[in-house]
Structure 1
Amino acid sequence: MGQESRQIHRFPCRHCGEDIVVALCIDYEKITHWVEPVENAEWIDEVGGAPIVNVDANFIVPIHQRDKDFAFPRMDQLRERFEVAEKNGSIVTASLEEINSKKWKERPFRRPDFEEEWKLLKTTWSLHRRGRAHLIGDRLKAASEIYYASDPLKSIQDWLWRFMLFFSQPAFEGPFRDAFDQIRPLLESKEFERFREHYNKISNQRGERYFELLKAYFESYDQFAQVHFDVVRGLEIPDGNMASSVDFDSVKMFYGNTFEALSSNIDIMAYFGNIIAGRAFDQFQSLTLKEYLRLDKPSRFGPLAAIPAFDALCLERDNQLRNASHHGGTRLDAETQIITFQSGKGGQGQTQEIGFAKYLARCDLIFLQMIVLFRLEIMMCQVATGLTWPI
């Protein structure tokens, strides 16, 4: 059982190899559940000796437990997550009596049902982007009653900030704070005034990029949710584990597309690096702004190396995997869950391999780097004056 009210599981039939799709539905108010056959599945009487298939919405499954009855792979993984939570001081020790019963239904105490909140946020954000501000108030009020009753939402910016804050905790709070510590002193500088004028010309395009990427991520959230709660805690996906639900077609281009978005939006960190170095925001050590923007996407990360707090925002950036993913050059063996792709320019190099679960984790990681960058821009717009929000 996962965190959402409806959880999709896709896995190959053990006999013919075609995908079977089922959904687990949960009513968290009435504390009940039911299963829906979705594709290539129907209800039958139980057959003795039939194959066992272990599926889990928020955990990976060790290979040796994939088809084992009475296996509970999430128990050991829960212990690891508990240790991370304990280290970060994020364990809730208060009892129901100590915390108002209503607050257990609110963030951060509420279960992390981010997909359901995103559905409401996505429509509200879309209305804002299309200039339908008069339709937003009621939606903010409704979302507040569900998720933030004790501290109602004030704006779409406020909602985006809270959503991304809770979604990226705890491993990505440190990199966010370290990067903003570098940015904050620049906000009152004269050169920031020049940067502000440039930023306001590109903020809408940046907002569209964030919006489309978030949409793409949550369209395949049933895939990413299997690893997200490990990635967001800084935990590695160990070898010998498999995703129990596999929809490769929905995610095979995600890494490449996110790499493209990150390498496009990371430019403002390079501009801040120029200001920190005492130069104009658009003057690099040996490049003009036009020359920088003509660089290929991997080279745009180069200027960040001089500032570790900025470079830490994009440590996950594998250009070989990006090329294969972005250009549809990855292949999945459904039985072994091994993805293969060719490295080198034009995919003419050696064959590379990565497990599907690890691929999902790397997709989640590069996406979360984009989330940190988005948070930095929202915080910058909140603290500085005269900036156009990238939403």
Structure 2
Amino acid sequence: MLRAGVGIESYQHHYVDCSACGTPIVLAVRANPPHAHFVVEENFALGTHEDDEATLINLHPNFAFDPEDFHNRMGFASLKYVQRIATVVEDLVQPGQKFVDTAFLFDVPNISQVWGHVRRGLNLESGTNNEKALSRTIEGYLAERQRFRPDTEATDVASMHTGFLRAAFFPRIEQIADPALVLLEKAAADYPAEFAAFETYYNTEFADEQRHRFISAFSDYFKHHSQFSQMLIHARLGDEDPGAKVVGSKAFEEIKLYYGHVYEALTTSFVILACLNNILLGRSYDQFQSMTLNKYVKDVEKAKRANPFANEPVFFAFSQGLDSSLRNGSHHASIWRDGDVVYFRSGGSGAERNMPFSNYLHLCNVLTISLASIWLLDRRLVDG
């Protein structure tokens, strides 16, 4: 028997293992909060009565369950997070507002559709003679966002793009990106010639490829957002270890390669942090302590890309959640799930390791927020 909490998305997909035979069950919750109903998709039928003896599986699109509550008919995952969410959004309440749904302040409703507007704007931005299409895209974005957040503003692709990332991953993205942006501006102010040289290099050699890399990773993420959102609150609130959690929806086959995907995108983007660190240390942007930028880009393995800025806590914060063994398993498809546990091998032949599926989701979210944060730095370098 299934019991689902109602999130803020209008259509909420769930992938459940049958408790009796393990057959994958696919269903959805169509919601117009506070009203909702189940929609049958695969290997599932709606019953006409409640079986008090049946095993209950709890589902929620935005929260995970403590193990003891996963089958509890009175388990409410959201109750454990209400106060934490209320605390972080209290500064977002507009003057004069008497009644506020904190969910609409903390989350971005219909986020996959909203990302579609942002992605379209990013793609149009790189073309020419797209002014009318860009204007319609921004208008569509604002129409969707202002339904729930009337204070949303966007006048161009840059403000739409950065505003979306900050809303989707608030407050953690601010804690990672903003101190790094301060150091970026310090490098620009204290070493203007070297910073200008780096800007030229980055926009000539990296920016276009990076744009495609960013868009690809986030398109993958938002396509499967209903999976990642079950654990996203922990990454957004900066929980290093979310503890033992169980999620009800498990579409692992759809996302088993994602960690490797976002790991590659993030560690490749570390060139921004590495070059800024060189400048701040009084060196040329392309001169490291014991190697050149060319060697860093071409020869240094991804697992060691953060080493050059390991002594700068602001930059090193971007490396939280990196696990090279998990990356190898995910990147090379040597990864599988059995129940609530994910198993993987490094490179396909290394020692077998495992972690809870909920932790896999958490690490994917941690890296995604770091990638969103470094995209804000990229935006500053591209826009000047």
Q: TM-score, normalised by structure 2?
A: 0.88
Provide structure 1 residue ranges, at least 5 long, that are not aligned to the other structure. 385-391
Q: Is the 8 A contact 2:117 2:140 kept in 1?
A: no
SS at match of 1:226: coil
1:63 CA drift (Å): 2.2
Question: Given the alignment, which residue of 102, 105, 108 partners 1:112?
Answer: 108
Q: Is the 8 A contact 1:4 1:115 kept in 2?
A: no
1:106 CA drift (Å): 12
1:105 CA drift (Å): 9.3
* Counterpart mapping for 1:201-240 below 5 A: 201=204, 202-236=206-240, 238-240=242-244
Question: Given the alignment, which residue of 182, 190, 193 partners 1:190?
Answer: 193
1:52 CA drift (Å): 1.7
Identity of aligned residues (%): 24
SS at match of 1:33: strand
Cross-structure match for 2:124: 127
Cross-structure match for 1:7: 12
Cross-structure match for 2:292: 288
Q: Is the 8 A contact 2:277 2:309 kept in 1?
A: yes
Question: Given the alignment, which residue of 318, 330, 339 partners 2:335?
Answer: 330
**Amino acid corresponding to residue 228 of structure 2 in structure 1:** F
SS at match of 1:61: coil
Q: Is the 8 A contact 1:7 1:57 kept in 2?
A: yes
Taking only aligned residues, the RMSD between alpha carbons, in angstroms, comes to 2.5
| Per-residue CA distance 1:295-316 (angstroms, 9 max, x = gap) | 2112222111132211111122
Q: Is the 8 A contact 1:145 1:152 kept in 2?
A: no
Measure the CA separation in 2 of the matches of 1:142 and 1:174. Answer: 29
C-alpha spacing 1:145/1:342, structure 2 compared with 1 (3 Å): closer
C-alpha spacing 1:118/1:93, structure 2 compared with 1 (3 Å): closer
Q: TM-score, normalised by structure 1?
A: 0.87
**Amino acid corresponding to residue 352 of structure 1 in structure 2:** R
Provide structure 2 residue ranges, at least 5 long, that are not aligned to the other structure. 1-5
| Per-residue CA distance 1:338-391 (angstroms, 9 max, x = gap) | 111234xx3444321100001100000011100110112223445x3xxxxxxx
C-alpha spacing 1:378/1:35, structure 2 compared with 1 (3 Å): same
Cross-structure match for 2:362: 361
Q: Is the 8 A contact 1:57 1:222 kept in 2?
A: yes
Measure the CA separation in 1 of the matches of 2:103 and 2:36. Answer: 23
| Per-residue CA distance 1:156-188 (angstroms, 9 max, x = gap) | 111011001112211231222221221102224
The answer as to 2:30 corresponding to 1:25 is yes
1:135 CA drift (Å): 1.0
Measure the CA separation in 2 of the matches of 1:160 and 1:218. Answer: 14
The aligned length equals 369
**Structure 1 residue runs of 4 or more that deviate by more than 6 Å after TM superposition:** 104-108
1:333 CA drift (Å): 0.6
C-alpha spacing 1:19/1:5, structure 2 compared with 1 (3 Å): same
* Counterpart mapping for 1:66-81 below 5 A: 66-79=70-83, 81=84
Q: Is the 8 A contact 2:107 2:168 kept in 1?
A: no
**Amino acid corresponding to residue 174 of structure 1 in structure 2:** Q
SS at match of 1:362: helix
Cross-structure match for 1:145: 143
C-alpha spacing 1:326/1:111, structure 2 compared with 1 (3 Å): closer
Question: Given the alignment, which residue of 189, 200, 210 partners 2:203?
Answer: 200
